[in-house]
Amino acid sequence: MGTLDGKVAVVLGASAPRGTGWAKAETLSAQGAKVVVGARSLEPLKLLADKIGGIAVRCDVSKEDDVVDIAKAALKSYGRLDIAVNAAGVA
């Protein structure tokens, strides 16, 4: 049992295998959370989602509709949203 069992997390900026978002998603999942990962690049997100048993959603944090959509995906899939992590780098 993990300390986050039953919790649902959204992690933005999770498409780089050595990046902060990817690591946060792995950690949250290892602690028992269900994780929805988002970033602009969908293909690496799918790899991460498969690895952690989560959901991948394309999300550009500079677009409000994308951010709303990823929150809706978490709510639709898991019925709640407890944790939000923004690890997306924006220049």
- Mean local confidence (pLDDT), 39-56: 96
Q: Residue 48 region, left (φ>0) first, then alpha (ψ -120 to 50), else beta?
A: alpha
Q: What is the mean pLDDT of the chain?
A: 95
Question: How is residue 76 written in tokens?
Answer: 């639709």
Q: What is the largest CA-CA distance in the chain?
A: 39
Q: Report the sign of the C-alpha dihedral through residues 53, 59, 4, 21, in that order.
A: positive
Strand partners, 8: 34
The pLDDT of residue 27 is 97
The pLDDT of residue 21 is 96
Distance of alpha carbon 76 from alpha carbon 78, whole angstroms: 6
Reported as a pLDDT band with limits 50, 70 and 90, residue 1 is low
> Is residue 84 scored above 80 in pLDDT?
yes
Model confidence, pTM = 0.94
